[in-house]
Amino acid sequence: MTRSLPRRAPVPILALALAAMAACSGEEERGFDAAKEALGKLLPLKLKDGRLALDREAWQKKDAEPLDEEARLKARRERVARRLMIKPEEVTDALLKHFAEGEGGGPAYVGYFRDVMDGGGASQGGSSGSSGSRCEESLNGEWMDGRLEYDTATQFFDLRLIEKTGPKRQLGVIDGPGCGLVIRLVDEGAKHVLVFVQPPWGEASATSIAPERTVTLTGMDFVDLVKKQADQAQVRVLRPLTDLGLRIAPDPYLPPVMAVATSAFSAPAAELAAQVEAQLVKLRSDDNDEREAATLALVRLYPVAIHMLDRALERAEDMEVKLRLQRVAAAHPTIKALKAYVEEKKLQDDETYLLDLFANVPFFKAAARARLAALYGKDYGDDPETWPKQKP
């Protein structure tokens, strides 16, 4: 049953607003959550030749940056203050010298590792050692322990981070020419385990283990894995990593980029539009459970109906409907962030790219077809082979 907008009760609006406020408040961040920015710098990722890879060029750019002596001194002073649990202004030159002797040098990612540990609360001590080109550094604290092992000659990289409070997550990343890329994330709080393996040869695989189900995704490489099950790759592999703060460089074959290119610039196909409209109607139901179910359904539909739902938000006059549609968009933060990239690359108008998605990415097949029909001015059917390679 539905009713007219003026009869909307104010209580759900207040509940939604308070929920949004609660999400922005809460206890002081600790562990991984307090170190997101540094984790993003320590573990930059990108797609290269179809493979998911550590973006070592991002580290090299940092190595080449000129050092700001004043900024470096301030950062060192704050790092020592956190370790000693005193104010930065209480750190003397003698203390700075003492701790500098233990910090050593190394590639830029060693500094990022220290930033991660400082941000995550490693202030109690640690150790370091080296043998030839191989080095190891360990830091531990009240909320987090970490170890970084690396070899500057072989490019071997091995990171282990363990939270000792809150969700008690564990993150392990191994990368090198002889072993490929291995990422292991254990989230005790969410009872979730993610294992991604991309050997130097053979298939890439990602296994997501959760109480409700275990899902294994495979592909000839990472892009092939994503193409086969774009929605599952986003939810079960990429999102858990980006939630930690890991950065993935924009690429045409990231699921949020495919979502924007196929559905953010024109209306969806009639069948999908009808599904979206049915859920929009339910947002005005008398039944709060029905409104909530419709909100969750629209969250799932948003990647393939961005244009339609964004327009619905712009036109919404009822405050609760507006808040719920804002929740829908906010559930996909990377979509909004990557729209400028899609526009810069003109992927939404690239017939070759869209035809590839239409033919090879089942999750975005209908959205790619609708976008191509909007570009061509005609729908040539469900078989990609019947479509012209370029707009007539």
- Helix ranges restricted to H, 85-145: 93-103, 108-120
**Residue-level pLDDT at 106:** 58
Output the six-digit token pair for 260.
Answer: 């924007």
Q: Phi and psi (nearest 5°) for 284?
A: -105, 15
Q: Distance from CA of residue 194 to its chain's centroid? A: 14
Q: Phi and psi (nearest 5°) for 182?
A: -130, 125
Q: How many CA atoms does the CB half-sphere of 66 hold within 13 Å?
A: 2
- Helices 306-315 and 270-282 pack at an angle, to 10 degrees, of 40
Q: In what order do the strands lie in the sheet with 44-48?
A: 51-54, 44-48, 247-248
**Residue-level pLDDT at 23:** 44
Q: How many CA atoms does the CB half-sphere of 247 hold within 13 Å?
A: 17
E strand or H helix that includes residue 42: helix 36-42
Rounded Cα–Cα distance for residues 94 and 87 (Å): 15
E strand or H helix that includes residue 253: none
**Residue-level pLDDT at 329:** 96
Contacts with 382 (C-beta within 8 Å, 6 or more apart), sequence order: 369
Residue 132 CB-density burial (10 A; 0-12 exposed, 13-18 middle, 19+ buried): exposed
Instruction: Give the pLDDT confidence of 163-196 residue by residue, as tens digits.
Output: 998 899 999 999 999 899 999 999 998 899 999 9
Q: Are 214 and 208 in contact (CB under 8 A)?
A: yes
Q: Phi and psi (nearest 5°) for 185?
A: -125, 125
**Residue-level pLDDT at 99:** 60
Q: Which residue has the tokens 């275990």?
A: 214
pLDDT per residue as tens, the chain (392 positions): 444 333 344 444 444 444 444 444 445 677 899 889 889 999 999 999 999 999 988 887 754 444 456 766 776 777 677 666 688 888 888 777 666 544 444 577 888 888 888 877 655 567 777 788 888 989 888 889 999 999 989 999 999 999 998 899 999 999 999 899 999 999 998 899 999 999 998 899 999 999 989 999 999 999 999 999 999 999 999 999 999 999 899 999 999 999 999 999 999 999 999 999 999 999 999 999 999 999 999 999 999 999 999 999 999 999 999 999 999 999 999 999 999 999 999 999 999 999 999 999 999 999 999 999 999 999 999 999 999 988 88
Rounded Cα–Cα distance for residues 230 and 256 (Å): 9
**Residue-level pLDDT at 115:** 83
Rounded Cα–Cα distance for residues 233 and 148 (Å): 28
The angle subtended at Cα 289 by Cα 287 and Cα 291, nearest 5°, is 70
Instruction: Give the pLDDT confidence of 30-60 residue by residue, as tens digits.
Output: 789 988 988 999 999 999 999 999 998 888 7
**Residue-level pLDDT at 388:** 93
DSSP 168-230: -EEEEEEEETTTEEEEEEEETTTTEEEEEEE-SSS-EEEEEE-SS-EEEEEESSHHHHHHHTH
